[in-house]
Amino acid sequence: MDIALQRLLLGRDGRSAMLTGLRGVGKTVLLNEFELVAQGRGYFHEHIEVSEDGELPGRLASAFRRVLLAMDARCRLGDRARKALGVLKAFSIRIPNGPEVGVDVDAVSGPADSGDLPSDLAGLFVEMGEVARDHGTGVLVTIDELHYVDLRTLEALVVGVHRATQRMLPITIAGAGLPSLATLTGEAKSYAERMFRYPTIGSLSPQQSSDALTLPARDESVRWNDDAIVRVLEVTGGYPYFLQEFGKQAWDAADGPSEITLDDVERSLPAATAELDDGFFRVRIGRTSDAERAYLRAMAECGPGAVRSSDVAQVLGRKITALGPVRDGLMKKALCYSPRWGEIEFTVPMFDQFMKRWLPTFPA
């Protein structure tokens, strides 16, 4: 990411990143790191977290407003800032529920108010990029939960970034979302694969997992017994958030003073599992219907990883076509995604195990 940002400041193209992976693997943490890298290069940065409504243009307009005001305060843009704010105001007026610019400027017609979202976002990105370039700086917007954005808006976003890239302007985005994000951006615009890298963020390697447990403990003069490490890796699968939770519970359960043993880990497993069940897992199922919960439980019965939608239907004793709306509802809620045609998979690691604990038998 640092190389891409440096290239943009030099007036060259820079290939940004779209991070993909299941929940709890550290995508948001990496976006935060991108922010620090950007600020270290003198960039202006804003962060957007897309909610389930998928609304992005208004949030992007608000983010650009904050960037322009911050840029004006630092670089004293004066009339140039007012002109850019006028373009932004015209854009905001044209989009549904557009945000108030909050600055006494006249709307500037032309660059970003045609009513065609791809064209208008392209105009807006170019305007922002030109302001940044003319004042020796750049703009990075990080966007989390990007999988919630509908295909039309995602297409417009890619078009906007692409146009700024063609003009060699120092403005870009970095996104994060579920594994389906790479496919979605490709469907939005075929050239998206040339604009972004799509690193998959997943479970850590055994060595990385061991380091995640042992290095912080070593700073406190505590060591992990080898058997204890093996056991934690076995139950967590190396997923970062789970390593954090199970490691914390083992630390709290350990008698100490200077070693965490296999016995400490075994005693902490119920507490760690309960903590995940009551928080990380259950918060994601609270808004599901009875039919959706039954579908999720049937997925768990079919095994971990990707399962065939036809197998889920068979477990439920239903026709696959009759379950289409339930499946679509779960995907819109980002509890599941489709890695390949005819398959479905949980977006949360080890969710199948949770469903079996939470619903030992199928709902009536």
pLDDT at residue 77 in the model:
74
Domain boundaries, the chain: 2-197, 206-283, 285-358
pLDDT at residue 76 in the model:
80
Q: Which residues contact 45 (CB under 8 A, 6 or more apart)?
A: 35, 38, 39, 139, 140, 141, 142
CATH topology (fold) of 2-197 = Rossmann fold (3.40.50)
Whether residue 179 contacts residue 337, with contact meaning beta carbons closer than 8 Å, is answered with yes
Q: Which CATH class is domain 285-358?
A: mainly alpha
pLDDT at residue 281 in the model:
92
pLDDT at residue 227 in the model:
97
How many C-beta neighbours within 10 Å does residue 143 have?
A: 23
Topology match between the domains 2-197 and 206-283: no
pLDDT at residue 363 in the model:
64
Rounded distance between C-alpha atoms, residue 191 and residue 330, angstroms: 29
Q: Which residues contact 120 (CB under 8 A, 6 or more apart)?
A: 91, 94, 95, 112, 113, 114, 156
pLDDT at residue 289 in the model:
93
pLDDT at residue 295 in the model:
96
What averages of pLDDT result for each successive group of 10 residues across the chain (364 residues)?
94 91 93 97 96 92 94 82 92 86 84 94 96 94 95 94 94 94 84 87 95 95 96 95 95 91 96 94 89 95 92 94 94 92 93 93 68
pLDDT at residue 364 in the model:
57
Domain 206-283: give its CATH code: 1.10.8
